[in-house]
Amino acid sequence: MTIEKNIVLKREKNKPILIDIYCKEGLKISPIVIFCHGYKGYKDWGAWDIMAKRIAKNGFCFIKFNFSHNGGTVEQPIDFPDLEAFGNNNYSKELNDLGDVIDWAITHFKDNSFVDTSRIYLIGHSRGGGIAILKAAEDNRIKKLVTLASVCDFGKRTATVGNLDQWKKDGVKYVTNGRTKQQMPHYYQFYEDYIQNKERLDIKKACQKIKIPQLIIHGNSDTSISIKEAESINNWNPKSQLEIIKNADHVFNISHPWPHDYISSEFEEVIKSTLDFLV
C-alpha cells in the first residue's frame, strides 16, 4: 500500500491544507474516498489511520485532510497550536476547503490508471458529517455519502447557544477542550458567516436535495450528538439508510491517542458497514 502523509495543498490567499493519501494499486480501479473530520478534530485523531488503511486495502483511494482553520499547522498538524486560526474558522471555510480538496484530488490522480476520478465518495464525522452533506447536495461530482455521528442543524449550534449580545460585544467566546485543557476561541465572525450564508448551510434542505446513496451511522450511546439527529437526517432523505451501532459513543468507543493496532468492536462495525455500502 502506498501511504503519503502531510502533503501540503498551497492556496493563493488561503491557508494551506494538509492531506494524507492511502492507496493500494492493482486491485481494481479505485474510487476516491474523502474523509472530513469533526469539530475540535483532525485527520490524525484516534484510529482514523486504521480506518484509512482498512478502506484503502479494500480497493479505494482514501484521502483525509485537516480543515485549514482547524487549529493545526503544517509543522504541527496534531492538536491545536494555532488557536487564532481556530477562532477564525467557520462553516463556509470548511465547505470551500472540501471543494478545494476534491479539485486537488481529481487533478492529482487524473493520469493515474488505478484511480477513478469520476467516483468521489465522502465520509464525514460529527460536524464534518454536516459539511459532507452540504457538499454532496451542491456538488454533482460526489456519488456516495456516509455520515458518522453527524449533526443535523448548524443553526442550533450557532445562533441559539449562549448570549449573542455578549458574544457580539466581546467579539469572542471560549470553549474548553476537555482533553488538552485549552481555552479555544470562537470569534463573532462565526455567527456572522452563518447568518450571511444561512441558505447554503441548511442541512435539512441539503438532505432533501440529495439524489445519491446515503448511509447514516450513529451510536445509541452518543451523548455529544443525539441519535435523534441521525433520525432527522434519515427522515429528510427517505432514500437514505440508517444504521444504529449499539453501545457506541460519539467516537465509536475510540479515544486519542490510540496506540493499538486493534479497534473497538463498535468501530469495527462502522468500518464494515461503510465498506459494504461503498463497494
Q: 128-175 pLDDT, tens per residue?
A: 999 999 999 999 999 999 999 999 999 988 866 678 999 999 999 999
C-alpha grid cell, residue 180: 488538552
The CA distance from 86 to 189, in Å, is 12
> Do residues 23 and 59 make contact, with C-beta atoms less than 8 angstroms apart?
no
**Which portions of the chain are predicted below pLDDT 50?**
none
Q: What is the pLDDT of residue 25?
A: 78
Quick one: pLDDT at residue 160? Answer: 62
Model pLDDT, residue 161: 63
Looking at residue 158, its pLDDT comes to: 83
257 preceded by a cis bond (ω within 30 of 0): yes
CA distance 141 to 67: 20
Average model confidence (pLDDT) for the chain? 96
Beta strands per DSSP E along the chain: 2-11, 14-23, 30-36, 61-65, 115-125, 142-148, 172-176, 183-187, 214-219, 241-245
Q: Provide the β-strand partners of residue 120.
A: 32, 142
d(CA 15, CA 126) in angstroms, rounded, equals 23
pLDDT in tens, 266-275: 999 999 999 9
Assess contact for 80 and 72: CB atoms under 8 A.
yes
pLDDT the model gives residue 156: 87
Burial of 114 (0-12, 13-18, 19+ CB in 10 A): middle
CATH number listed for the domain at residues 2-154+199-278:
3.40.50.1820
Our measurement of the distance from residue 42's CA atom to the centroid of its chain's CA atoms, rounded to an integer in Å, reads 9
The structural domains of the chain, with segments of one domain joined by +, span: 2-154+199-278
pLDDT at 59: 93
